Amino acid sequence: MAKQVGILTSGGDAPGLNAAIRGVGKAAIESYDMHVIGFKNGFRGLMQDRTMELPSDALSNILTLGGTILGTSRDKPHRMPIAGKEQDMTDVILEVYDKHHLDVLVCLGGRGTQKNALRLANKGMNVVTLPKTIDNDIPLTDTTFGFDTALGIATDAIDRLHSTATSHNRVIVVEIMGHRAGWLALGAGLAGGADVILLPEIPYDENAIAETIRARTRKGKHFSIVAVAEGAMSKAEAAEFEVARAAKDNAANKEAKQAARKALYEMDAKHANNTLRLTEKLEALTGLESRLTILGHLQRGGTPSGADRILATCLGTACADLIADKHFGVMVAARGDNAEPVALEEVAKMRKTVPLDHPWISAARHIGVSFGNE
């Protein structure tokens, strides 16, 4: 009997998801005569048994499409909102898995998806994952599909912002996505010629940023571009977050952990307007008109780049090879020109952040870019 393959996409959408679905599906069908079905809208659709047949014909003409033909959601199997409260729906998901006689479930997603897939694997399901995120923060893979496209979009935005910055002698602050990792802001800032790049990995000082801008003005440069990762924090904020995280990690009981988690949620909510406050502060400190641009979900959309299409296709076809070899409980990682399986247990432990000695940071410092901590 042909192997039964289920596939879903989870978490935020990213360019290259359809290319990956196509890569997994076509290789599974054409090379191994497997049967492939999709589950709509992530783990929630899996729980609800919302399926979509994926024969080879259905996978044609989706390579260039952004988003995901399967839809997605951020629901977690073990903490899914049902009837107004969070419930563990893992057992229901296992029933759906068994109902369809699946040999494997393929999960395409970011760090949260890797953790959720591991939970299902620990419950006895055969799982293989692919690394998708524009944030590029999944460990043990050289890169993730979606990142290259988002990097190009953010770089193009900074290129365009240079025009209005120079025309009006303004400070332009541009907020770039990336969650708690600075890869996207660093890459776009470096490629787009930003004068200041603020990363989650390097807490900043507003006065140091303002001095960088004033120094440029003294040299006759009456505009500045400040690229800010959405997770970037001031030194004071970073210290507060570290205290709150330590309280959660060291909580003595469930109530203390819930209280600490609530405190972190509140700090996250407050941080949402951080880039606006920073823009206002820089205008006050420098006396220069300052404007904020938030790229937001613009970075997730549109046609995937050639590099992302190739990466997603290669990882997808490698996934089919692993399924044929009954190699489960792994993520398909990009390693050089190859695709290699890495254990989900290892992936779920970490977040890939920007090392402070990374060549991109070194190159930026050499050309005079400030990271706001000088």
**Token digits for 148?**
């290259």
Q: What is the DSSP string of 96-132?
A: HHHHTT-SEEEEEESHHHHHHHHHHHHTT--EEEEEB
Q: Quote the longest CA-to-CA distance of the chain.
A: 75
The pLDDT score that the predictor gives to residue 1 is: 63
pTM: 0.94
Cβ(62)–Cβ(18) below 8 Å: yes
3-state secondary structure 51-103: EEECCHHHHCCCCCCCCCCCCCCCCECCEEEECCEEECCHHHHHHHHHHCCCC
The pLDDT score that the predictor gives to residue 262 is: 85
d(CA 341, CA 89): 28
Residue ranges of the chain with per-residue pLDDT less than 50 = none
Cβ(232)–Cβ(182) below 8 Å: yes
What 8-state DSSP symbol labels residue 29?
A: I
At residue 367, what are phi and psi to the nearest 5 degrees?
Answer: -100, 10
Mean confidence (pLDDT) of the chain: 95
At residue 352, what are phi and psi to the nearest 5 degrees?
Answer: -90, 105
Which stretch of DSSP H or E encloses residue 171?
strand 171-176
Q: Give the ranges where 30-80 is alpha helix by DSSP (H).
A: 32, 42-47
Cβ(15)–Cβ(310) below 8 Å: no
The pLDDT score that the predictor gives to residue 264 is: 84
| Options 75, 135, 137, 195, the catalytic residue | 135
Neighbours of 108 (CB within 10 A): 32
- The reply to whether 75 belongs to the active site is no
What are the C-alpha distances in Å from 307 to residues 15, 163, 183, 318? 11, 28, 17, 17
Neighbours of 249 (CB within 10 A): 9
What 8-state DSSP symbol labels residue 356?
A: T
The pLDDT score that the predictor gives to residue 96 is: 98
The pLDDT score that the predictor gives to residue 124 is: 96
Domains and CATH numbers, the chain: 4-145+306-347 (3.40.50.450), 151-299+355-366 (3.40.50.460)
